[in-house]
Amino acid sequence: MITSDAPPLVKEATGGTTAATRHLCAGVYVDERFRDLVIDEVCTATHRRVAPSYGFDIVPVMRHAWLAAALSSSLRATVAGAAILPVFAGAMTVTVLVTCGLALLWLLHVAILLRDTEAEPRLQPNSKRRGLASARRQLTLLTLVFTWKYSGRIKHSEKTRAFRQLGISALTVALAGLSVVVFFPVDVMPALCSAGAIVLSCLAVGATRQVMLNRVLRAEDLRPRQLSRRQQVADAQQHHACAVYRRPRHSEDEDDLARFTLFGDESPFVGAGELVYQWNPPICIQLLRPGDDKAPLHEREHPVPPFQAHELVEHLRKAVQELDTDNGEVRLPVQVRDRVYVAETDVAADRALLPPRIDETDMHAIINTPGSKQHHFLEITTPMEGGEFVATVLLRVNLQGRTLTISTAACVLAHTPRSFQHTEEFGQNGTTAVIWAALKELSALPREISRSWRILRYFYVLGKAALLPRDLTSTPIRNVLIGTRISTREKAAQAWSKVQLEKSDILGRMKTIERRLLRAASDYLNDKDVDISEFTDRALNIINSGIFNFGDNNTFSNNAVGDGAQVGNSGNQPASQGNQDNGGTR
């Protein structure tokens, strides 16, 4: 039995939107970098495959990314238009007045950034470093205006000089504006009208953004009724059984050879999250008949395997699916499907590796073909908290050389940032929140002035969306690789090392799935007249092991291996201490 192309998690998202989908839709309104990521890597990257979706639906995220971009660009267009359009109407003095007002606001914004920048920066957390990145970019820009030297560190004297220059510049701009008011008083009213248009635009954009966030929070289904052509392509690719992954670039670094991992630094399981678990090495079991260990190999082994690889996969599928049939709170929600991973370089050489659809017969052929460039995995996914946490166990079966090889890996998608979920908190939604959002947007006007140039970027992405074909991955193109570069869900996920109380629950679920897979495989091999003693010993080691399999912080200290081995001094222990332990003097 082969499951349909649509993953169960995405099917649930289309019928009843998951919490992860809501939070990602809200994220494009509150985080401009995340919005740009969705537009650049999903909405307009037609030459790359969309990553598989786990616990969310990418289609409504794409739609709200465009809506959020339209809101921001409308405000920035109003700011730019208020300063530029009067020139074409012959009202240069109006442009001068509006530009002076905007310049004063921008200088205020720079002064605030300069105030918040430390004289001697200390090592900051990631969030604080990102917060200072904007200040440093603004200060780097000011080096073109002012004469003080900026190299990432600001001395106290330089900071004082910068404030002095800011004050002189603000005074100069204010005097220029007052001179225009004195000599051309008739143009004051048009300039005030332009300023009023900017203020109204700020209030309208802030209120509309909050209204959209409220709708994201309350709507039963965020998926649009009619999909655009690009959304249809992205929808089909996120549902497809095949995932096209990138191979790391060729490296001659000898340090890479010492890494104790099967998959290297970059996980090939694109979209599934951070790789946190693996069987290393995989289980390899000779297909021997039960009997005396002293019997010759040719008498005990099965010259012809007593089963095919796809038959074992189907047995394991049914065994895991039973966990989802329990009643009440003891039910473990799992979704099981087939996933095929293909390298983008292999697809470039043979387009047949990425068919439009894989039926049951083709999937069985992939599973039963050892060494195929189409790597099949049985994918078991268990979501938590509406898709905010998703654990995925991937199991691979290989039958070759009268030996059964079983390997597995597990990936985790953790929760989205708090800013994506902020609308759900008390007082952050409803009518009052709309009013506060409008006022907050008005207070952020100085910051938006410095970002007005980004309207050019939106013209660029709109041009890409209008001119490029909706799908450039269906037919081969010279020098173009179609592997997925980025998963937006992975980029928004918390790092596995920083997951707290949910970590034990996630690990428990993965262990539950792992034990059931091992037990079901053991029973199946026993029914097929295969000696399971070696399999049982290996499975017991895996179940009881937590050091070599889990990928947190595998630190080995004070260990001795082998006959006569002794525990040595720690690598960071001073040499003098070791001498004192041996007597200190001779």
Q: How far apart are CA 415 and CA 302, in angstroms?
A: 48
Note whether residue 293 is domain-resident: yes
Note whether residue 304 is domain-resident: yes
pLDDT value at residue 337: 96
pLDDT tier for residue 570 given thresholds of 50, 70 and 90 = very low
Which of 15-29, 79-93, 516-530, 545-559 shows the highest mean pLDDT?
Answer: 516-530
pLDDT for 119 beyond 70? no
As for how many domains the chain has, the answer is 1
Strands 335-343 and 242-245: parallel
pLDDT value at residue 251: 67
Rounded to an integer, the average pLDDT of 96-109 is 90
- Residues 51-100: tens digit of each pLDDT: 999 999 999 999 999 999 999 999 999 999 999 998 888 889 898 999 99
Q: How far apart are CA 21 and CA 63, in angstroms?
A: 12
Report the half-sphere exposure of 114 (CA within 13 A, side-chain side).
27
pLDDT for 259 beyond 70? no
Q: How far apart are CA 490 and CA 56, in angstroms?
A: 12
Note whether residue 61 is domain-resident: no
Q: How far apart are CA 404 and CA 345, in angstroms?
A: 28
**By percentage, how much of the chain surpasses pLDDT 70?**
81
Note whether residue 178 is domain-resident: no
pLDDT value at residue 163: 81
Cα angle, residue 548 at apex, residues 542 and 554 outer, rounded to 5°: 150
Contact 407, 283 (CB under 8 A): yes
Give the torsion sign (CA, 147, 149, 152, 156): negative
- Residues 406-433: tens digit of each pLDDT: 999 999 999 999 999 999 999 899 999 9
pLDDT value at residue 14: 38
Q: How far apart are CA 487 and CA 24, in angstroms?
A: 12
Give the tokens for residue 355: 């068919």
Note whether residue 384 is domain-resident: yes
- H-helix or E-strand spanning residue 382: strand 375-384
Note whether residue 286 is domain-resident: yes
Strands 283-286 and 403-413: antiparallel
Lowest-confidence region among 280-284, 312-316, 391-395, 505-509: 280-284
User: CB 193: neighbour CB atoms within 10 A?
Assistant: 12
pLDDT tier for residue 260 given thresholds of 50, 70 and 90 = low
pLDDT tier for residue 142 given thresholds of 50, 70 and 90 = low
109 burial level (CB within 10 Å; 0-12, 13-18, 19+)? buried
- Average pLDDT of the chain is 83
Higher pLDDT, 549 or 210: 210
pLDDT tier for residue 293 given thresholds of 50, 70 and 90 = confident
- Residues 494-540: tens digit of each pLDDT: 999 999 999 999 999 999 999 999 999 999 999 999 999 988 888 88
Q: How far apart are CA 53 and CA 9, in angstroms?
A: 8
For residue 283, give the nearest of 375, 405, 398 by alpha carbon: 405
pLDDT tier for residue 185 given thresholds of 50, 70 and 90 = confident
pLDDT value at residue 118: 59
pLDDT for 555 beyond 50? no
pLDDT for 332 beyond 60? yes
pLDDT value at residue 569: 47
pLDDT value at residue 155: 56
Name beta bridge partners: 342: 244
Domain that holds residue 291: 269-417+484-544
Q: How far apart are CA 568 and CA 565, in angstroms?
A: 9
Note whether residue 385 is domain-resident: yes
Tally: H helices and E strands in the chain: 21, 7
Determine if residue 389 is left, alpha or beta; phi over 0 gives left, psi from -120 to 50 gives alpha, anything else beta: beta
